[in-house]
Structure 1
Amino acid sequence: MCGRYVLEGPVSRLTTYFNARYTEEESHFKNSYNIAPTAVVPVVRINRESERVILNHVWGLIPHWAKDKFGSAKLNNARGETVHEKPSFRTALKKFRCLIPASGYYEWQVPSESSGGRKQPFYIYPNETPYFAMAGVCDHWIDKASGELVMSTAIITTEPCEKLRHVHDRMPVMIRKENWAEWLDPKNQDVTSLRRFISSSDDMNSHAVGFGVSGVGKNRIDSQGLIDPYKPE
C-alpha cells in the first residue's frame, strides 16, 4: 500500500515535467512532506477540451454512487490485481484515470517477530527524475442535497520490485513517461490493454527515515527533515 507521500515544487517544475497546465491558483500549492489520505492533492488528467491539466482531488476515492463522502480514507489505494473487478474502482479504471505526481513516498518495514522492534519507515524516491508518476483512478461524487461536487482519486498498487521486497509487499504503480498519453486518454477504455501498465518499477532509491513523536507517522508533522536519512542515536 501507499499511505504517505511527498510532493515538492515549485509549480513551474511540476507543470514543465508533466507538460500540463495547473488549473488552480499557484498560491494554493505548497511543498508537503507528509501527505496523508483525505488530503487535497494535485493530479494530472485530460479535460473535456483534450488538454493535459493538473487538478486538485481528494486522496481517497469516493465512488459516484456512494451515499456520503466519509469513507474516502479507506479507498486511498486500489490493488492492481483486482482494480478492474472491484465495484468501487472498475468504472474509474475504464473511464477516469490520472497520474499522481510524487517526489517520493514512504513505506514501513515490518520487523521480524523475533526482533521485538518497531516498524521502520523508509523514504522511496526516483533515481534521476524529479517525480514519480503514480497510476491513479478518479471519480466524481455529487451531494444530492447541496450540489457539492467532490473529485477524488486513489493510487493503484502492485507487488514490489526486487529492490523493495525487504521493505514492504506492495508499491505504487509507476507509469513511464512514454506511456502517459495512452494511460490518460479517456477514449481508451480497453481494460485489457490498460492493465499491462500495472507492474512494478525498480527505477528508484530508498533509505530509512526517522519515526516516533517527530516522524512521518504523525499527521501534524510536515517538514523537509522527514525525508532525511535516519541516524540511530
Structure 2
Amino acid sequence: MCGRFAQFSLPEALEDYFEVADGYDLPPPRYNIAPGSRILAVRAGPDGRRVFAKLHWGLIPSWAKDRKFGYRTINARAETVAEKPAFRAAFKSRRCLIPADGFYEWQATPDGKQPYFIRLTDGDPIAFAGLWETWTDRETGEAVESGTIIVTQANALVRGIHDRMPVILDPRDFSTWLDPTIQTAAKLRGLLRPLAPERLSMHAVERRVGKPSNEDPSLIRPLTPE
C-alpha cells in the first residue's frame, strides 16, 4: 500500500517535469503527507493540456453517501481497479498523476515497525498513477474532488519490507495515462507494473514519521545507528 509520502520539489521542477504551465498556487514542501490531506495532482484539462489540481486523499465515488467513504479508498489495487465499483468509472476516464519525491513503507520487526523512505535513485520527482473523482455533498451542495493512488506488487527492493508498492509511471507513459479517450483496460493495465528495483533507493528513517503531525525535512534523513 501507500499510506504516507513526501512532496518537496521546487515549483519550477514540478512544472518542468510534468510539463505543466506555471501560474498555479503550488503547495509548500511536505514531508509527511497522510490520508485525508489535500494532495497535488496532474490531470488533463478541458483542452487536453496538463493542469495541476488539489485533491482530497481518499477517493469518494459520486454515489457515496458521505465523505467518510474516502477513508477506505486511499489506494486502489492494480489487479482489480478496472472492476471495483469505487474505481472503475474513474479508471476509464478520470486518471491523474500524483507528484511525490518519495514514499514511506514500514517493516515489521521484533522491536516494532521500522519506517523506510524510498525515492528514485536519480532524484527526479515521482509520478504515482492515480485516479480522481468529484462527489457532491447532498446536504451542503459542496463539490469535493478526491483521489487515490494505485498500488501493485512490490519489486525486489521493496519486497524486503512490504509486499505492495505504489505504481510509479515513467514520463514516456504520462500522455497515455492522462488521455481520457484511451479506455482500453488492457492497454492501461499494462502501465500498472512495479518499477525496476535499480531505479529506487531505500533507507531507514526515524519512527517519528509515524505521527502525521511531525512535519520537517529531518524525517527523510537516513537513520543513524546507535
C-alpha separation in 1, matches of 2:43 and 2:23 = 11
Residue 16 of structure 1: aligned partner = 16
Q: 1:137 corresponds to which letter in structure 2?
A: L
Residue 221 of structure 1: aligned partner = 214
Residue 169 of structure 2: aligned partner = 175
C-alpha separation in 2, matches of 1:98 and 1:67 = 24
Matches within 5 A, 1:124-143: 124-143=118-137
On the 8 A contact 1:22/1:53 being kept in 2, the answer is: no
TM-score with structure 2 length normalisation?
A: 0.96
Matches within 5 A, 1:69-80: 69-80=67-78
Matches within 5 A, 1:1-233: 1-21=1-21, 24-26=24-26, 29-111=27-109, 116-201=110-195, 202=197, 203-211=199-207, 215-233=208-226
C-alpha separation in 2, matches of 1:10 and 1:125 = 16
State the Cα distance separating 1:127 from its structure 2 match.
1.1
Cα–Cα, structure 1 residues 23 and 78, in superposed 2: closer, same or farther, change >3 Å?
farther
Unaligned residue ranges in structure 1 (runs of 5+):
none
On the 8 A contact 2:150/2:166 being kept in 1, the answer is: yes
On the 8 A contact 1:9/1:30 being kept in 2, the answer is: no
On the 8 A contact 1:23/1:53 being kept in 2, the answer is: no
On the 8 A contact 1:60/1:74 being kept in 2, the answer is: yes
Cα–Cα, structure 1 residues 21 and 38, in superposed 2: closer, same or farther, change >3 Å?
farther
C-alpha separation in 2, matches of 1:75 and 1:164 = 22
Q: Identity over the aligned pairs, expressed in percent?
A: 40
Q: 2:200 corresponds to which letter in structure 1?
A: M
Q: 2:151 corresponds to which letter in structure 1?
A: T
On the 8 A contact 1:23/1:54 being kept in 2, the answer is: no
Specify the SS of the correspondent of 1:199: coil
In the alignment of these two chains, the number of paired residues is 224
Q: 2:12 corresponds to which letter in structure 1?
A: S
C-alpha separation in 2, matches of 1:23 and 1:66 = 33
C-alpha separation in 1, matches of 2:173 and 2:162 = 26
Q: 1:15 corresponds to which letter in structure 2?
A: E
Unaligned residue ranges in structure 2 (runs of 5+):
none
Q: CA RMSD in A?
A: 1.2
C-alpha separation in 1, matches of 2:75 and 2:172 = 24
C-alpha separation in 1, matches of 2:77 and 2:17 = 27
On the 8 A contact 1:98/1:138 being kept in 2, the answer is: yes
Once the two structures are superposed, residues 179-223 of structure 1 have per-residue CA deviations (whole angstroms, 9 ceiling, x without a partner) of: 110010011111111000111012110000011xxx100011000
